[in-house]
């Protein structure tokens, strides 16, 4: 190879090694560019939502005739189960976006057990997705459910 050919080859190889920092592709941003980007960024982190769990392995379906779901919205899922020999009563709660569902024992009488499904969230000003998740929730009773009616409410 002659000297001219070696020089052309060396020039071609060194041109391929150029990082292109001066043309704006993949280069390191200036401090001004970094500050401008950080001042316009938003917090896009997801809210703390507990994992979606399943009903316990020993869950037994509860008789539909013993469930009063009249206070729930028409499209609310209604499935009630018991576990731990009837001392735990569970149902499916509805949550979504930034909200989380929980169950609260409102009243336990000789004839009925009232469970309120409470959906809590960050408030009206929060920007949340419109997805809906169904998650099992439960309450613990003082006595096994037996033949009592389960009354479901939502708030």
Give the separation between CA 37 and CA 58, rounded to whole angstroms: 53
With a cut of 90, say whether residue 125 has pLDDT above it.
no
Determine the straight-line distance between the first and last CA of the chain, rounded to whole angstroms: 85
Q: Categorize the per-residue pLDDT at 122 as very low, low, confident or very high, splitting at 50, 70 and 90.
A: confident
What pTM was estimated for this model as a whole?
Answer: 0.64
- Cβ atoms within 10 Å, residue 40: 7
Helices (runs of H) and strands (runs of E) counted in the chain: 2, 8
Spatial neighbors of 87 by CB under 8 A, at least 6 apart, are 140, 141, 143, 144, 145
pLDDT at 142 > cutoff 90: yes
What is residue 136's predicted lDDT score, i.e. its pLDDT? 92
| CB neighbour burial string for 54-78, b if at least 16 within 10 angstroms, e if fewer | ebeeebeebeeebbebeebeeebee
pLDDT tens per residue across span 54-106:
788 889 999 999 999 999 998 888 999 999 999 999 999 998 888 889 999 99
Rg (CA), the chain: 31
The pLDDT tens digits for 8-18 are: 455 555 555 55
Mean pLDDT over the full length of the chain: 78
Cα gap 92→119, rounded to integer Å:
12
pLDDT-based confidence at 24, cuts 50/70/90?
A: low
Confidence of residue 126 (pLDDT cuts 50, 70, 90): confident
């Amino acid at each position: 190879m002659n000297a001219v050919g070696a020089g052309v080859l060396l020039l071609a190889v060194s041109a391929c090694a150029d990082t292109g920092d001066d043309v704006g592709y993949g280069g390191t941003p200036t401090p001004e560019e970094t500050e401008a980007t950080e001042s316009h960024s938003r917090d896009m982190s997801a809210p703390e939502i507990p994992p979606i769990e399943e009903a316990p392995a020993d869950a037994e379906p509860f008789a539909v005739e013993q469930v009063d779901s009249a206070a729930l919205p028409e499209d609310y899922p209604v499935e009630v189960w018991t576990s731990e020999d009837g001392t735990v009563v569970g149902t499916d709660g509805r949550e979504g976006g930034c909200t989380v569902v929980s169950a609260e024992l409102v009243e336990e009488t000789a004839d009925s057990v009232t469970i309120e499904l409470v959906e809590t969230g960050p408030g009206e000003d929060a920007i949340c997705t419109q997805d809906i998740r169904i998650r099992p929730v439960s309450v613990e009773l003082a006595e096994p459910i037996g033949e009592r009616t389960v009354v479901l409410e939502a708030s």
